[in-house]
Chains A and B, each alone.
Chain A
Amino acid sequence: ELKVEQNPLFLSMQEGKNYTIYCNYSTTSDRLYWYRQDPGKSLESLFVLLSNGAVKQEGRLMASLDTKARLSTLHITAAVHDLSATYFCAVDPLSNFGNEKLTFGTGTRLTIIP
């Protein structure tokens, strides 16, 4: 059974600081996705990572994928209040081709403090 673990589960950080959220998964995959969810809202796709070494950046967020370590990171640079949200990673195992389904991590609730 695929397990996807994120840490930390909760993160409070001050504006202007940098931090990293980690996503570990338990089986071979080169398809990993990051989503953002605001309170009471749906999930919004942030990044699609489809190969080892993939790096994507959007504004103050940067995501990377290391398939050998089975690890993805979401790095936040110079945090601003608007980034407060819950961030989820999701993985689709390689063995699922033709039968794809995403397994989500538990989420990281990020709070940016002024």
Chain B
Amino acid sequence: NAGVTQTPKFRILKIGQSMTLQCAQDMNHNYMYWYRQDPGMGLKLIYYSVGAGITDKGEVPNGYNVSRSTTEDFPLRLELAAPSQTSVYFCASSHGGMNTEAFFGQGTRLTVV
């Protein structure tokens, strides 16, 4: 029973490098989300998706891109890494509809130097 799986768990990037954070869920959830959590802070929504082929911006989308080609996968792309993107990234999924209880992955700790 994997739930939401994120890879990698840790990553150090140099300024200007690119990378993709992977997220997969096996619960057949329609909704998937990417959040970032800065130290000592709450979660801010980066992007979300309500189904395959449909994505939308959240509160802090600048510097990121997403795609949703399948129900299971929702990768987050950083094109030109900046120090301000140092954070912990959480992927989550939910069924949607009247109960949007979200289930979270273990997080990816990203440092940009």
What residues of chain A have their CB less than 8 Å away from a CB belonging to chain B?
A: 31, 33, 41-45, 48, 50, 88, 90, 92, 97-107
Contact = CB atoms under 8 A, between A and B. Distances in A.
30 contacts: A31-B98, A31-B99, A33-B100, A33-B102, A41-B107, A42-B104, A42-B105, A43-B43, A43-B90, A43-B104, A48-B101, A50-B98, A88-B42, A88-B43, A90-B102, A92-B100, A97-B97, A100-B96, A100-B100, A101-B31, A101-B45, A101-B48, A101-B100, A102-B94, A102-B102, A104-B42, A104-B43, A106-B41, A107-B41, A107-B42
A45 B50 contact: no
Interface string B9-35: 000000000000000000000010101
A50 B101 CA distance: 10
B interface, size bucket: 20 to 34
A70 B98 CA distance: 18
Contacts of A45: 101-103
B42 A105 contact: yes
A20 B33 CA distance: 29
B103 to A, nearest CB: 7
Contacts of A44: 104
Nearest to B56: A99
Interface in B55-102: 56, 58, 90, 92, 94, 96-102
Given A43-B90, A50-B99, A100 B31 contact: yes
A33 B42 contact: no
A72 to B, nearest CB: 14
A42 B106 contact: yes
Nearest to A51: B98
B34 to A, nearest CB: 11
Contacts of B41: 106-107
Contacts of B96: 100
B31 to A, nearest CB: 6
B50 A99 contact: yes
A33 B102 CA distance: 9
Contact of B42 (A31, A42, A101, A106): A106
Contacts of A99: 50, 56
